[in-house]
Amino acid sequence: MTTQAPPDPHRFNALVWQIVRQIPAGAVSTYGQIASMIPPPDGVEEADYERFGAVWVGKAMNAVSGDAASSVPWQRVINSQGGISLPEGSRAAVEQRARLESEGVTFERNGRVNLNTYGWDGPDAEWLRENRLLTPRPLKKPKSDNPEQLTLF
């Protein structure tokens, strides 16, 4: 199996973009969360997909151009640490941050988005079922049963 691209990149990219179009303004998703909704493509072992799915989603987002660029809200997809993955200070990174801020997403002092605040919960179950997709990996940390108890992590 190659790690360079999924077996059918055009189909995979179209599916990624279909999912990204569901992310509402003011929310963000991650490459890994989007990959978690897509079953492993035919011929790809689950363990391999687990390793490379997020990379493939990143490549799909990088391939957004032409007509898709106006219909795919690419700015709403960030990395698992809540950061913009584009080179810092690049025109595209500055544009992504500006677009997110114009939608009400704020960045912390470390330059990251708080995923507990802005993380997307994913499409509704019916939409997932209709599109033969999986329940997304959650971005938000579970709330503590005892909010007064301090955690170490």
Average pLDDT over the chain, rounded to an integer: 92
Q: Which domains does the chain have, with CATH numbers?
A: 9-130 (1.10.10.10)
* Structure confidence at residue 121 as a pLDDT band (50, 70, 90): very high
Q: H/E/C letters for each residue in 58-78?
A: HHHHHCCCHHHHHHCCHHHEE
* H or E element in which residue 30 lies: strand 29-30
Q: Which residues pair with 107 in a beta bridge?
A: 113
pLDDT category, 73, cuts 50, 70, 90?
A: very high
Q: How confident is the model at residue 145 (pLDDT cuts 50, 70, 90)?
A: low
| Entry pTM | 0.90
14-47 per-position pLDDT tens digit = 999 999 999 999 999 999 999 999 999 999 999 9
Asked if residue 1 has pLDDT above 60, the reply is no
